[in-house]
């Protein structure tokens, strides 16, 4: 276990947001990210691994321009975080239902192109996942203990259902993405606060 100083945010912020709290269901794939099972049956994800994977996602996504990334989140708990992320970075976000064929059907009025897809939950966002798979574009997915990893290139283990957890993830991603792209040089230049990403 590395020291707390090496984390993207203070350990306390991660814990308060509950990014490590999983579900009672566990898939075989996600077992490698699980730290322990609580007495009430809830799986607890390894915070160190969460932090490591967020870093990998930041490095990977920041190699793409904002217009080449598409973020999708069907679950309502992700909407505020996605919209704030889009506003902060210029990355396109679909908060709500993903129109099937959006990436693949040229005849759709809202047809859109993307070079990389980020989904907040592979299960409700499966239509977007399938379209990306057809096109062969890489997929980054936030996965809880109950998710499968089919069609996913990079899994970021975390609580992908909680508003606070999703808000913190997108806040970190927005800040670090802008720094990596040299749009801002330091944290103090970031115009947003965590509350902009989290529904109370």
The tens digit of pLDDT for each residue in 134-169 reads: 999 999 999 999 999 999 999 999 999 999 999 999
What b/e sequence results for 32-53 when a residue is b if at least 16 CB atoms lie within 10 Å of its CB, and e otherwise? ebbeeeeeeeebebbbebbbbb
Question: pTM of this prediction?
Answer: 0.95
CATH number of 8-182: 3.40.50.10490
Distant-in-sequence, close-in-space partners of 167: CB < 8 Å, separation ≥ 6: 17, 80, 81, 84, 194, 197, 198, 199
- The pLDDT tens digits of the residues spanning 19-42 come to 999 999 999 999 999 999 999 999
Q: What is the pLDDT of residue 170?
A: 98
pLDDT for the residue 66: 98
DSSP E strands, the chain: 34-37, 43-45, 69-73, 92-95, 116-119, 139-143, 154-157
């Amino acid at each position: 276990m590395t020291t707390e100083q090496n984390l993207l945010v203070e350990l306390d912020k991660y814990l308060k947001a509950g990014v490590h709290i999983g579900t009672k269901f566990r898939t075989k794939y996600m077992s490698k990210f699980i730290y322990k099972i609580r007495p009430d049956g809830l799986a607890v994800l390894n915070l160190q691994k969460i932090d490591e994977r967020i870093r990998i996602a930041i490095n990977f996504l920041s190699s793409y321009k904002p217009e080449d990334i598409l973020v999708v989140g069907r679950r309502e708990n992700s909407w505020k975080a996605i919209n704030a992320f889009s506003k902060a970075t210029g990355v396109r976000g679909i908060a709500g239902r993903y129109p099937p064929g959006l990436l693949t059907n040229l005849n759709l009025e809202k047809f859109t192109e993307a070079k990389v897809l980020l989904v907040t939950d592979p299960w409700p966002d499966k239509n977007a996942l399938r379209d990306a798979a057809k096109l062969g574009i890489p997929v980054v997915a936030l996965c809880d203990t109950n998710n499968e990893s089919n069609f996913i290139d990079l899994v970021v283990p975390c609580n992908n259902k909680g508003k606070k957890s999703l808000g913190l993830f997108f806040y970190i991603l927005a800040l670090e993405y802008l720094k990596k792209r040299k749009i801002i040089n330091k944290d103090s230049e970031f115009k947003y606060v965590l509350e902009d990403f989290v529904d109370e």
